[in-house]
Amino acid sequence: MAQKPSIPQGTRDFGPKEVQKRKYILGKLEQAFRLSGFMPLETPSMENLTTLTGKYGDEGDQLLFKILNSGDYFKKLIEYNQRGLGHEEMDPTFLPSSSGKVADLDAKRSLPFLAEKGLRYDLTVPFARYVVMNRNQISFPFKRYQMQAVWRADRPQKGRYREFWQCDADVVGSDSLLYEAELIHIYDDAFSSLGLPVIIKLNNRKFLSALAKACGAANLLTPITIAIDKLDKIGLEMVLKELAEKGLNSEQINRIERFLQLPKTMDGAMAGLESICGEEEDFKTGKAELEAVLKFLGPNLNNTLELDLCLARGLSYYTGAIFEVQAATGSLKSSIGGGGRYDNLTGIFGLPGVSGVGISFGLDRIYDVLEELKLFPPSLSASPSRVLACHFDEAGRSYVLNACYQLRKAGIACEVYPDITRKIGKQLDYANALGIPFALIAGENEVNSSSFSLKNLVTGVQSSFKLEELIHHLLEN
RNA sequence: GUGGUUUUAGCUCAGUUGGUUAGAGCGCCUGAUUGUGGUUCAGGAGGUCGUCGGUUCGAGCCCGAUACUCCACCCCA
């Protein structure tokens, strides 16, 4: 019985046109990265689970794709469970089930027996892992870009896939704010070259921690930032409600409400912040950092740069600047890029005191936006061939095949219609379907006069050429 | 992980209270036109109705399960 083929939820095949469009985006991004001196890096699709777990919070751990161990992965688990606590070989994190049944085991504690590898969840953690492992070979500051797939066991919806590509540029080993400005310029350059107008949002985590400290709720920084981050989406009332649910009192909420209503202008926001948490050290350094970044940026951005004090971003390792990019138009409201400064990402792998800052582009979402706004160049939907060689008989086909070899030597992409047919219409239809702009036509007349007819399928103009003239004509048009 | 939603021809979609042989537009193939395409006209091919099971004399339609799509939470590129 033939099975109906399918692919896993949240994954996609990419046809020729889609691949060409994706590579076009990748090319533009790579160009922008390399223009600022970033070097390429690739890491394995799978990492050890110990590298990945605990880096993205409990939510993130649940979204990791785990890879089943090879061999009889159950055998060891069952043995450990039967021997019970206290055995000398016992893994200290492992707890046997009180019933002695495998079915009653704690899933989280048992996981290491079943899976020790997982698919990477982002490119930042593997990068940090790479930096730590290769610290002696790397010249700091180290600037790398990386464009690879990542996987999340999320439930798919619009703009959200289980396999998608991130394109990251990070700098580690320097706390210079020059790099914040450089990365913002990369965002600006890359989206300009794609013809996509965007809003680049900027904030500094230190403002948020200053706010939390001024409220006397430094321990609630994460819940506060998560709630604040939703302001655009759920509105002021709901944010305040969520804050109350997290256990903040009315005085604290009042202060946060004033924060949420601050003006978006640079001067206005800073003045307002001063009155809300001006005493906090984090505010002062945050303000100084922001001012320095703006100074380094200069005035030459093509896109809108917006200070958004409510921008928090989920990843908990950000400590300074935070970036997020949204398309200025189109239906996709979620971010198409994000990043920030993390003071101590490599610390967890045993290399403390190394500061990094990075940005990420979401290839798949950028694709969706460009597609919706029809911003891809039409040539990306066409065959690479510029010429389809058409013919009517065996002699014409050989004649035209030989010409094709000459065209290719001259760097002109071309191909020969494979079948012998008197129907030129069918051959021209094939060229049209593939978006090939020229038809080279040769029958008895052309063979006898050692010439070629070349038809421009866009304009309909047809003229006769000798081989040399043909090559020149194609190179010039 | 929770809740909802979608699935019928290559594509976009109709399909009445459950009733004979499941339709349309576009696309595709053939011919009018044996060496000139995108127009027109005529004809034609193409369906396990997502999958499995159930109810029924009878299921595209009703019921159950499952997968996929999309959406809202959660979170995020």
Convert the pLDDT of each residue in A91-126 to its tens digit.
666 777 777 676 677 777 778 788 889 999 999 999
A345: CB within 7 A of chain B nucleic strand: no
Amino acid at A74: F
> What is the spatial distance, in angstroms and rounded to an integer, between the CA atom of A434 and the C1' atom of B77?
32
In a domain, A186, yes or no: yes
Gap from A16 CA to B52 C1', Å? 35
Pairing, β A198-204 against β A321-327: antiparallel
**Do A169 and A40 share a domain, yes or no?**
yes
Q: Which residues numbered 60-99 in chain A sit less than 7 A from strand B, measured from CB?
A: 60, 62-63
Task: From the CA of A4 to the C1' of B50: give the distance in Å.
Answer: 10
Per the structure, the count of domains in chain A is: 2
The answer to whether the beta carbon of residue A424 comes closer than 7 angstroms to any atom of strand B is yes
CB neighbours of A371 closer than 8 A, spacing ≥ 6? A21
Task: Give whichever of A21-35, A50-64, A267-281 has the largest mean pLDDT.
Answer: A21-35
Asked whether residue A455, judged by its CB, lies under 7 Å from any atom of the DNA or RNA strand B, the reply is yes
Q: Find the Å distance, CA of residue A2 to C1' of nucleotide B57.
A: 32
Question: What secondary structure letter does DSSP report for A65?
Answer: P
Q: What's the CA gap between A411 and A59, in Å, rounded?
A: 52
CA/C1' separation A3–B21 (Å): 29
Cβ of residue A410 lies below 7 Å from strand B: no
CA-to-CA separations, A46 to A42, A119, A243, in angstroms, rounded: 12, 4, 38
Are A199 and A325 within one domain? yes
Average pLDDT of chain A to the nearest whole number = 89
Alpha-carbon span A130 to A96, nearest angstrom? 35
Q: Which residues 274 to 303 of A reach strand B, CB within 7 A?
A: none
Answer yes or no: do A396 and A364 share one domain: no
Pairing of strands A46-48, A66-68: unpaired
Contact A130, A159 (CB under 8 A): no
Q: What is the CATH number of the domain that holds A406?
A: 3.40.50.800
- pLDDT tens figures, A195-209: 999 999 999 999 998
| Residue A64 is assigned to a structural domain of this protein | no
Least Cα distance to A123 among A153, A180, A60, A167 occurs for A167
Nearest residue for B74, CA–C1': A59
Contact A125, A118 (CB under 8 A): no
Mean pLDDT across the stretch A317-335?
A: 88
Q: What is the mean pLDDT of residues A58-83?
A: 82
Judge whether residue A119 contacts strand B, using its CB and a 7 Å cut-off.
Answer: no
Instruction: Tell me if ipTM is over 0.85.
Output: yes
Domain boundary among A372, A396, A422: A372
C-alpha–C-alpha distance, residues A107 and A110, integer Å? 5
Which pair of tokens denotes residue A175? 């706390």
Long-range contacts formed by A104-111: CB under 8 A, 24+ apart: A105/A77, A105/A81, A110/A77, A111/A49, A111/A66
Q: Residue A21 is part of which domain span?
A: 16-47+120-372
Contact criterion met (CB below 8 Å) for A415 and A386? no
Kindly state whether residues A362 and A413 are assigned to the same domain.
no
**Is the pLDDT reported for residue A57 higher than 90?**
no
A174 CB below 7 A from strand B atoms: no
